[in-house]
Amino acid sequence: MSKLSVLLLLGLSVAIVGCSKEEPVTKEASNSPGASTGPAASGGSLKIVFIPKNTGNPYFKPVIQGFEDASKEIKADFTTTAPATGDATSQIAIIKDQIQRGVDVIAIAPNSPDALNNVLDEAKKKGITILTVDADLDKNESHRDAAVLSTDFSKIGESQVELLGSLNGYEGPFAILSATTDAPNQNVWIAKMKETLKLPKYAKMKLVDTVYGDDQPEKSTTVCEGLLSTHPDLRGIISPTSVGLAAAAQTIKLAGVYPGGPHATGKGLQLTGLSTPNQLKAFVNSGVVTSFQLWSPHDMGYIATYLGQAIHTGKLKAAEGVEIDVPNLGKRKLEKNNVISAGPLVTFDKSNIGKYDF
């Protein structure tokens, strides 16, 4: 069980495996599109693949670790492979390749809510269990068996607006720096942010712009620089993506417009969003970022492994209200559209960020 999961259970907060004889061996696929590690393992072990949104995104490292840890426990053959970019159709060729490999379970963080429908249906016809992880096929849930999401999606957008409001006095113009225009999770969260802003409590907060960095550091930096230039009176930025948030933090640091910065106007620009602690630790400790949020990425991979095994082997039929007992984490219930939430949001700031290492 991971250190993070232990911390979760104690209330302080919120893994690529193959079988070789008796001991599972860690495997990791190449970064090239469609690449995977070697042939599928023989001997009847469950073959699981996880397809993240794109390569080079540190957010998915603890998710993979969760798959890795659970796969060792059940002696599954686990691999991971991802496209170079987060384009809507970039995962199609990889899924086709995994169908040819004869995997048992495809877990995927989809880059589009609908572009993968046909290829996922092709996989299901071959008897492959399909799980979405971290993001879902919004309004297209019938093309997968179940989903393991970070936390209650309906609360993320609201929580992000509330966090920014608490930082900037619930007033002033702000912007959103998102991932790609097709990212299902991002779009759900942004829609909820806009809905939340209609409440009287947020009447003085105004969303003036939404930009997209495509989960690439360079583009995220460029669009953030554009926000600062276009909106010199900006009081806040929400970036619900770890790549975007880290890039924005560096941009704001260099511009000196953070609270207390040399070029700050008034109380300065408050930056928040979603990220892993390690990516933002230095920015929090230096005062560039006051606070931000996230869940347990590790637990998503861990839960998905056990859920994929249970569904594929027939031990569990995915349906609303059905429970699965996940070792070390306890019972989790499938909610509407067969969704399991990994856990609650945690707010990280100077008081607690040193306790986390992921």
What pLDDT does residue 343 have? 85
Q: 95: burial class by Cβ within 10 Å (0-12, 13-18, 19+)?
A: buried
Residues 147 and 157 in one domain: no
More confident: 25 or 112: 112
* pLDDT band, residue 338 (cuts 50/70/90): very high
Residues 166 and 191 in one domain: yes
Q: What is the mean pLDDT of residues 3-31?
A: 35
Residues 18 and 123 in one domain: yes
> CB-side exposure of 102: number of CA atoms within 13 Å?
8
Residues 10 and 44 in one domain: yes
Q: What is the mean pLDDT of residues 326-355?
A: 93
Residues 215 and 303 in one domain: no
Using DSSP, state whether 51 is helix, strand or coil. strand
Q: Identify whether 334 is part of a domain.
A: yes
Q: What is the mean pLDDT of residues 329-333?
A: 93
* pLDDT band, residue 344 (cuts 50/70/90): confident
Residues 69 and 183 in one domain: no
Residues 163 and 143 in one domain: no
Q: Identify whether 356 is part of a domain.
A: no
Could you tell me whether strands 77-80 and 339-341 are parallel, antiparallel, or unpaired per DSSP bridges?
A: unpaired
pLDDT, tens digit, for every residue of 106-160?
999 999 999 999 999 999 999 999 999 999 999 999 999 999 998 887 889 999 9
pLDDT, tens digit, for every residue of 151-187?
887 889 999 999 999 999 999 999 999 999 999 889 9
Q: Which of 294, 309, 330 is the last residue of a domain?
A: 294
Residues 159 and 25 in one domain: no
Q: How far is CA 59 from CA 101, 152, 281, 297, 358, in A?
A: 27, 18, 14, 8, 9
Residues 227 and 258 in one domain: yes
pLDDT, tens digit, for every residue of 47-105?
999 999 999 888 999 999 999 999 999 999 999 999 999 999 999 999 999 999 999 99
CATH of the domain at 94: 3.40.50.2300
Average pLDDT, rounded, for the chain:
89
Residues 158 and 129 in one domain: no
Q: Identify whether 351 is part of a domain.
A: no
What pLDDT does residue 333 have? 94
Give the bridge partners for 80, in sequence order.
Answer: 50
Q: Which of 237, 268, 294 is the last residue of a domain?
A: 294
Q: Identify whether 232 is part of a domain.
A: yes
Residues 158 and 133 in one domain: no
Write out the residue range of the structural domain in which residue 27 sits. 3-151+296-343
CB 182 within 8 A of CB 54: no
Q: Identify whether 281 is part of a domain.
A: yes
Q: Identify whether 352 is part of a domain.
A: no
Residues 71 and 8 in one domain: yes
Q: 170: burial class by Cβ within 10 Å (0-12, 13-18, 19+)?
A: middle
Number of domain units in the chain: 2
CB neighbours of 90 closer than 8 A, spacing ≥ 6? Answer: 33, 54, 83, 84, 111
Which residue type sits at 96? K
pTM over 0.85: no
Q: Identify whether 282 is part of a domain.
A: yes
Residue 260: is its pLDDT beyond 80?
yes
More confident: 286 or 356: 286
